[in-house]
Every structure is written in structure tokens, then in C-alpha cells.
Amino acid sequence: MIKAQQFRSQLQNREAALRQLQLLIQSVAVCQKKRRPTRPTRGSQKRRMDSKTKHGKTKALRRKIFD
């Protein structure tokens, strides 16, 4: 529901509501681009795995040492 109460006159409010409706229809009529799925680069995958192994080694050092 479109509501227009900017002006004191009903005619001006009606015209404002029609403008809002036209803008709404125009914004919905535009098609969005399709998303092209991308894969992470080899370098970013390597950096992620390196940080994971580093984090795992840090956590392993916190464990108790059994003799």
C-alpha cells in the first residue's frame, strides 16, 4: 500500500502516490545480473591451509605432555 501525506491537498498527494508507484514498478522491472560462481585462488587456499596448520600446531603445544 502506498501512502502519500506530504501535501495538504489531496490532488498533490495523489500525484505523489502515483509517482511513488511508478518508481516502484520501474525498480522491480529491472533484471538483476546473474551471479557468476567463482572459485578461491590457489594462493588464497594455500594461505588458508597454512594458517590452519599453524593454529593446530599452537593448540597442540597447549596439551599435556605424557612421558
Give, for all 67 residues of the chain, the pLDDT tens digit: 888 998 999 999 999 999 999 999 998 888 889 999 999 999 999 999 999 999 999 999 998 887 7
Which cell goes with 21?
508507484
Residue 2: what pLDDT?
Answer: 84
pLDDT score at 62: 92
Residue 13 has, within 13 A of its CA and on its CB side, a CA count of: 9
**pTM confidence score:** 0.46
Torsion of CA 56, 60, 61, 65, to 10 degrees: -170
Cα–Cα distance measured from residue 24 to residue 67, given in angstroms and rounded to the nearest whole number: 73
